[in-house]
Amino acid sequence: MSSVLMTRVQDKYVTIDALRLRYVEQGQGPAVLLLHGASLGSSADVFIRNLGPLARAGFRAIAFDQPGFGLSDVPTDLSTAYRRDSIPKFMNALGLKEVALVGHSQAGNPAVQLAFKDPDRYSHIIVLGTGSLLPPLGGEGEGNEAAAQQRLERRMANAEPTLEDTRKLLEANLFHHELITPPELELRHARSLGQNFEAFVARNKTVEAAPAKQPQTPLWQKLVELPMPLLMIFGREDRAHAAERATLLKQKFPELDLHIVPGCKHLVPWDAADEFIRLAVPFLRS
């Protein structure tokens, strides 16, 4: 567990599709682009304790608020496809020809999609706690538990959360509750209000009105076909039987570089920051 607390970094901005997007970065060297998930309050700040260690290891670590999150503008298109396609646009705006992608939670799936679509642009893929890239345990209901959790969170967020609501949501996703310091809590809460809450509600309505089409072959079955190295990290105490399903994936494809971290729930970059660096740095150097 990392003892690193909030680190001040300079907010930077770039314009894509007439949207002003905020990003933070540290270090010089090969670029590592860190992608946050889609839960209420998600932003580049989920990686704030990872930037410095990656920079000290010789990488240019970059995290950006995807459109409709954090301090970035809200697009008219709130689809997951638009958010995915904003990633190479962001790279182009920063002049990044090739990056290693780190996708947390819902961002792991588009990271893998982009890697298949344009493999020359992505040197490595790291997936953190992405349940949609895991097989079901054997029953349709079990396989849909992650979606059920998302529906539950949507029902909980039918009004702007209070500070205590934000704390409870963080406690549900962090094993190490001592990491929820007042500055961390206040920042996460600030990222959950105003336009971010409105965009969150609108995204959920879009998903409910037009659920994403499932591919004929689940993406988890194709992970071994990725043309670049893949590292997967899951928390042992994560929701929706993630550890059991990750174990099943490893049994089906023993060649996968997959790790299950004890004492870790869904927010892997927070809960297992030290373990993430321990695994990611040699992987990224390979």
Task: Encode pLDDT of 196-244 as tens digits.
Answer: 999 999 998 877 666 666 678 999 999 999 999 999 999 999 999 999 9
**Residue 53 CA neighbour count, 13 Å, CB half:** 19
Scored b (16 or more CB within 10 A) or e, 108-117 reads bbbbbbbbee
Decide if 5 is inside a domain.
no
pLDDT in tens, 42-57: 999 999 999 999 999 9
When the pLDDT of each residue in the chain is averaged and rounded to a whole number, the result is 91
Decide if 86 is inside a domain.
yes
Decide if 164 is inside a domain.
yes
Give me the CATH number covering residue 71: 3.40.50.1820
Decide if 240 is inside a domain.
yes
Decide if 4 is inside a domain.
no
Decide if 2 is inside a domain.
no
Decide if 6 is inside a domain.
no
Which of 232, 280, 239 is closest to 145 using CA atoms?
A: 239
DSSP label of 39: S
Confidence check: pLDDT of 4 > 50: no
Q: What total number of domains does the chain contain?
A: 1
- Residue span of the structural domain in which 189 resides: 12-285
Decide if 74 is inside a domain.
yes
Residues 6+ away with beta carbon under 8 Å from 69: 36, 38, 42, 43, 191, 196, 199
